[in-house]
Homo-oligomer: A and B are copies of this chain.
Amino acid sequence: MFKAEIKSETLKGLVNIISTLIDEVKFTIDSEGMSLKAVDPAHVAMIEMEIGAKAFESFVANETEIGVDLDKIKTVLKLASAGDIITMEQDEDRGRLIFKVGNITRRMNLVDTSGMSDPKVPQLTLSANIGVVASELQKGIRAAESISDHIALTADSESFELSCEGDTDSASLKIDSDNLEHLEASSKVCSLFPLDYFSNLVKAVPSETVVNVELDNDYPVKLVFSLADGNGSVRYLLAPRIESD
C-alpha cells in the first residue's frame, strides 16, 4: 500500500536526477519513505537515492515495491503548474499507479520489477573531499563541452579544478579553497571521467545545491548531495576513464 502527496517541483527534482541514468526504476517503499538503487545499462554510473516521508506533503505506506516508467511521470509533471500538489496512489488490485493533479486523473500500469535486481554499491574511501556549489561544476562543464569527451577533476590542498585537453585547445576552471564550501586534500589527486555522464547528472542538480565531491587518483568519483529541502539524499558514483599510455 502506498499513497502520498508531493509538491510537483519536488517530484520533478527527483525524476530529473534519476532519469539521467535510467528510464525505468524500482522504488522500495516503507513507512519511512522511498529509496532506490540503480545502475545505468553500461555499468558506468550508479545512483542511490533516499527520500524521507518528510519530503512529501503526506505519506502513508506499508512495505512495497513499485516499478515506474519515468517518461510517464514526466508527462504527469507537464500537467502540473508550479505549486501544484500531485497525489500518487498505488492500485494494488490492478497493478496501477494513479496520479491526480487538480481535476486531472492519470492512471498508468506499473512496470514489472521482478527482473530488476538491486545493484551492489561498493564502499569506497576516497582521499579528497570537496564541497562545491553545482553552478560552478556546471560552468566547468560548459567550458569543456566543445573540447573533449572527457573531463579531469583535480584537487590539491589549495584548489579544485575541472579541466579538459583537446588536440589543439584546452579549457579549465579552477576554484580556490576560499570559494569552496570545504576542501580536504592532503596530496594532489586527479581522475578523468566521461563528460556526458558527468554533465547529465550535474546539469540535473539545482544550481544552488552544494555537492560533496569525493575524489582520488584514477578512482571513481562520488557525488553526494541532498534534495527535497534536505529530506532526501543522493549518492552518485561514476567510473573513471583510466588512460593507458
Interface size class of A (residues with CB under 8 A): 20 to 34
A170 within 8 A of B: yes
A168-208 residues with Cβ-Cβ distance < 8 A to B are 168-175, 179
Distance from A99 Cβ to chain B, minimum over Cβ atoms (Å) = 9
Q: Is the CB of A173 within 8 A of B104?
A: yes
The residue from B72, B75, B78, B105 contacting A172, defined by CB atoms under 8 A apart: B105
A143 within 8 A of B: yes
A106 within 8 A of B: yes
Q: Is the CB of A103 within 8 A of B173?
A: yes
A55 to B176: give the CA distance in the assembly, Å. 31
Q: Quickly give the copy total for this chain.
A: 3
Q: Is the CB of A171 within 8 A of B104?
A: yes
Q: A91-119 vs B: 1/0 string, CB under 8 Å?
A: 00000000000111111110000000000
Q: Is the CB of B104 within 8 A of A146?
A: no
Which B residue's beta carbon lies closest to that of A176?
Answer: B103
Distance from A105 Cβ to chain B, minimum over Cβ atoms (Å) = 5
Some 20 contacts from A to B, beta carbons below 8 A apart, are A72-B146, A72-B169, A75-B145, A78-B142, A79-B139, A102-B139, A103-B173, A103-B175, A103-B179, A104-B140, A104-B171, A104-B172, A105-B171, A105-B172, A105-B173, A107-B169, A107-B170, A108-B168, A108-B169, A109-B168
